[in-house]
Every structure is written in C-alpha cells, then in structure tokens.
Amino acid sequence: MDNFVAIDFETANANRSSICSVGIVIVKNGEVVDRFYQLIRPIPNFYTYWNTRVHGLTDYDTAMAPRFPEVWSSIAPKLQGLPLVAHNSAFDESCLKKAFEAYQLIYPNYIFYCTLKASRKSLPRLINHQLGTVASCCGYSLQNHHNALADAEACAAIAIKILK
C-alpha cells in the first residue's frame, strides 16, 4: 500500500469518545508527505489517573483546545478518500466512531487497516507485537511513545514496510 493515512488517538478516560489528542501522517507513493497533531477537548471532559499516566495529558493541557468536530473538519479534507491505518485499528476506529456518535455526526465509513494484525502475520517470531517492537523491527525508532503523532509516525513506518 503506497497511499494511506496513519492515525492515532489518545483518550482522556475509558470512554472511547474521550479523544484528547490525534496524530495523522499522510503517505503518498510510499513517502510521508504531511503530518498533523492536535490536542482536543475530550467528551466526556475528565481525565483518569491511568490514562494520564499513559500519555501524560491532563485537563490543563486541553482546557482551551478545540472540540472534536472542529478538529475533524480540518483533518477530513486531508484524508482525500485514503484508507486509514492504525496499530490496533479496532481501538482507533472505535474512538473515531464514538466521537462521531457523541457529537451526532454522520460517520463516513472510513476503511481501516491494522498494522498490529499485519505484523502478527508477517513478523510472527517477534517477542511481542507492540508498536515500539514492531517499529524497531521495521527500522524505525519510536521516541515519545503515546504521543499521538509519534505513534502515527511509527505506524506509518510499519505500514510502508509490511502492508503491501
């Protein structure tokens, strides 16, 4: 696959609609051509200890951030009908669907591909198939794990190598 958008969401709490940051990496002809990162004021707007512990974001970080519909209106044109790719796409796709639902938006049935599933098939001997492990195997050093843009960049690097 030469043309796609790698995407990653971080959430504020256990509600999948509580997206607090998004990162996307646009790949065309097998090359990264654009990146986008945005903090988002989540819905519902509260942070749990466990989620903050994972990504480091708090209500202070997103208190003045735009809400999901405003952010997505900036992202949607960048997708240009491209498929979305995520590591453990079931999570990211469910976040996107729940955010659309929470804001009563019509979900456009994006096509998702999963680098986690693909890595289990194409790299079965890895010690695990976590994002950092798979990215490293594909020649990419993941820095700042659980930053949505950093994770989307790692996912893009994996997809370029193993999603053919």
Model pTM score: 0.96
Residue 152, classified by CB atoms within 10 Å of its CB into exposed (0-12), middle (13-18) or buried (19+), is buried
CB 23 within 8 A of CB 92: no
pLDDT digits (tens, 9 = 90+) for 17-66: 999 999 999 999 999 999 999 999 999 999 999 999 999 999 999 999 99
Q: How many domains does the chain have?
A: 1
Question: What domain range includes position 28?
Answer: 4-162
From the list 162, 161, 151, the residue with the least C-alpha distance to 6 is: 151
CATH number at residue 67: 3.30.420.10
pLDDT per position as a tens digit, 96-131: 999 999 999 999 999 999 999 999 999 999 999 999
Assess whether pLDDT exceeds 80 at residue 164: no
